[in-house]
Structures are given as C-alpha cells and as structure tokens.
C-alpha cells in the first residue's frame, strides 16, 4: 500500500504547491478576462484543500505506523537484551515488519531458553506479539602467539 501512496502524495504536493504559487502571483486560467474574485479564490481554495487532504491523510497514517513499529522494536529490544545478557548472549538486531518481530542473537552454547523470553515479553505487556528468534551459537578460540 505504501508503494501507491508515496507517488500519489508527491504528485498532490507538487500540484498544491503549483496552485499556491500561481495564486500568489495572480496567474489565472483566463488571462486578460475578469473573473469574479469569489469564483477565482473559492475554487482555488477548494482544490488546495482537497490536495492537502490527499497528502496529509496517507502521510499521517504512514507516520503513525512507523511510530508504532519503532516503539515496538525498542520495547522488544529492551526485553531481549535482558534475556540474552542473563545467558551470556548478545542481541545483534531487532526488526519489526508488520505484526512480526525478528530478534537476532549470538553467543556461546547453551542457547537461552525461548519460553523465558516469551514470559518476559508477556510480563512487559507484549503478549500476543509474533516474535521469531534467530539464535546463532558462537565459539571463541584463542589466537595462537
């Protein structure tokens, strides 16, 4: 859906800007003919208002979605960091897409328990959230002298 709104809002913003500039410079469709002031400005105001709605509504919806996604990512990150730290692991990334959150973590065996993560997420008010975890075990070897 975002693929549709981005070009649409761009076109509407360009058109609205052009109308405002032309109205400011008093460029009229019927050059040299007198048009009643109410007709001229009333129509321009209506077109500008409609174009602004076409721009503002999708941008508002998209901004709200991005805000919620960012908040969800940071809340899951905080819980996942505590969960991983307790097992000696590190969270390398948290990504939210739609209703799913992916946590990437790495560390030594044994891997931390996922039921404990679910419990911590639920306790933080993130119950019902579809969380997937990518656990990458890591081994650490000393470099010879």
pLDDT of residue 117: 94
57 or 134: whose pLDDT is higher? 134
pLDDT tens per residue, range 62-115: 777 777 778 888 899 999 999 999 999 999 999 988 778 999 999 998 989 999
Of residues 90, 101, 99, the one with CA closest to residue 133: 101
**CATH no. of 69-137:** 3.30.300
Where along the chain do its domains lie?
Answer: 2-67, 69-137
Distance CA 114, CA 108 (A): 15
* Eight-class DSSP state of 136: E
| Helices 2-24 and 37-86, packing angle to 10 deg | 140
pLDDT, residue 133, reads 94
Single pTM value for the model: 0.60
Q: Is 75:123 a contact under the CB 8 Å cutoff?
A: no
* pLDDT tens digits, one per residue of 12-70: 777 777 777 777 776 666 555 555 554 556 776 777 777 777 778 877 887 777 777 78
Q: Is the pLDDT of residue 141 over 70?
A: yes
């Amino acid at each position: 859906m975002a693929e549709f709104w981005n070009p649409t809002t761009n076109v509407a913003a360009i058109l609205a800007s052009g109308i405002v500039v032309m109205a400011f410079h008093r460029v009229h469709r019927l050059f040299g003919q007198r048009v009643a002031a109410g007709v001229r400005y009333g129509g321009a105001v209506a077109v500008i208002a409609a174009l602004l709605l076409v721009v503002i509504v999708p941008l508002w919806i998209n901004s709200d979605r991005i805000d919620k996604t960012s908040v969800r990512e940071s809340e899951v990150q905080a819980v996942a960091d505590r969960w991983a730290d307790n097992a000696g692991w590190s969270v390398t990334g948290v990504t939210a897409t739609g209703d799913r959150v992916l946590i990437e973590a790495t560390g030594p065996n044994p891997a931390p328990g996922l039921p404990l993560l679910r419990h911590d997420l639920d306790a933080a008010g993130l119950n019902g959230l579809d969380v997937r975890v990518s656990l990458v075990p890591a081994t650490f070897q000393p470099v010879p002298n």
